[in-house]
Structure 1
Amino acid sequence: MPSWTHLIRFVAVEDNQSHIGQLVDISRDAGLDTLEGREVKAYEIIGTIFDGEITKNILTVKFLQSPVERESCNYIRCLGLNYKDHAKEGGFAIPKVPVLFTKPRSALIGPYPAAINIPKCAQDGTSDYESEL
């Protein structure tokens, strides 16, 4: 079982390399902080997200990356409308069976300001940012 609770994938200021890490200040929103130019620190994790160990080595986040590397998955399995409040806030009926869908690994992008390219045939106003990875 992983020992991390607030996992991020990022490029570090110190070495310009990609790392996974545990946020130092778990009370903060790393995405918002980096977007607004605030410094974000993370304990480096050695290993994978499944078996990695959190070290005492603290790195500074240069920029966040997508939570999962494209090369690490063939496709992404998703669960939609997975809690009642989500269905209600979107004005959807609560489904009687789980709403399952898949995404190709090419759907993985980095956080803002990475562009989300929606194919022209899908630009009908029904795309949901929460399912755009």
Structure 2
Amino acid sequence: MPAFSRLVRFLAKNGKVYYGDAILPQGVTDLAKTKAARVIKGDIFGKHEVTDAVEDVRLLLAPLAPEDVRTVRCLGLNYALHAQEAGLPLPKYPVLFFKPATSLSGPTDPIPVHPIAQEELGLDYECELVVVIGKTARDVPESEALNYVLGYAIGNDVSHRDWQVARGGGQWSLGKGFDGWAPYGPGIVTTEVIKDPQTLQISTRLNGQTVQSSNTADQIFSVKKTIAFLSRGHTLLPGDLIWTGTPSGVGMGRNPKLWMKDGDVVEVELEGVGIVTNKVEFLKEGARL
């Protein structure tokens, strides 16, 4: 069991990067509002301590350092109403794809859109509950699955539908794996705080307009079922991320379609965790992040 309850990774005002246990005002649960945190020393997945040292937050970063992330597994079509809007039958098994670690970014980073993804309309948003694995897991029974979870974050599985569907050869990763297309955070709330991940409100706002509003209760495969299934013959490691699919309301499922464009601001929110806010930024040819 971790010593912290709300993990953030942040750039402090002294210029150093820390893991910390967020200090929030009474009654506030949005980790995006973290202004200070108690510094954590040690291995967040192993032996560590929350110290008495408090540092002011200059900028919240992606909740896990790049070296602490193992794999990024993602589920597709995992909300009943989303499968319905896509005109597809409910999957018999979880629909799995992977994102590269280079797609991960922080809770306020811009979403960079390479010129190759600017050619056609199709840039879409997807709010998702992100599960962070905290302990090595293999062949885990559903009844014990949550014991292997460190905590939860909110993420945006940014997708380009043309590259995902028409040009992907049946594989989704090409249209979902561009650099910076998986912003998540604003931190990680542990299972001691969020005891039931199937009761959480989840939503997306595009330029201030609510475009997705649902509850994780609509998931076809719950967090417990997902971990039990994915660990069958496959070892899940501390630092593995599982993105658990998006609810209905995506731009692809609307009539007319609603695609993100240069300069748009997209917010994804999860009850008990907070808000991730990112601005879409079309890059020029040859630009580097």
TM-score (norm 2): 0.37
2:29 aligned partner, one-letter code:
R
Give the 3 Å change call, closer, same or farther, for CA 68–98 of structure 1 in structure 2.
same
Shift of 1:126: 5.4
Within the alignment, does 1:42 sit opposite 2:41 as a pair? Answer: no
Shift of 1:54: 1.2
Match of 2:81 among 79, 82, 88: 88
Give the 3 Å change call, closer, same or farther, for CA 128–99 of structure 1 in structure 2.
farther
Q: How does 1:1-133 map to 2 (within 5 A)?
A: 1-13=1-13, 15-25=14-24, 27-31=28-32, 33=33, 40-51=35-46, 52-82=48-78, 84=79, 87-88=80-81, 91-92=85-86, 94-112=90-108, 114-119=109-114, 120-121=116-117, 124-125=121-122, 127-129=124-126, 130-131=156-157, 132-133=182-183
Greater strand fraction, Structure 1 or Structure 2: 2
Shift of 1:23: 1.0
Higher mean C-alpha displacement, 44-53 vs 66-75: 66-75
Q: Answer yes or no: is the 8 Å Cα contact 1:44–1:57 preserved in 2.
A: yes
Q: How many pairs does the alignment contain?
A: 122
TM-score (norm 1): 0.72
Measure the CA separation in 2 of the matches of 1:25 and 1:61. 12
Shift of 1:124: 4.5
Shift of 1:56: 1.8
Measure the CA separation in 2 of the matches of 1:96 and 1:126. 28
Deviation digits for residues 6-65 of structure 1, max 9, x if unmatched?
Answer: 11100111x21000111112733132x3xxxxx611111111221221112211111011
Question: Higher Cα Rg: structure 1 or 2?
Answer: 2
Unaligned runs of 5+ in 1: 34-38
Measure the CA separation in 1 of the matches of 2:92 and 2:121. 26
Unaligned runs of 5+ in 2: 127-155, 158-181, 184-289
Higher mean C-alpha displacement, 92-101 vs 57-66: 92-101
Q: CA RMSD in A?
A: 2.7
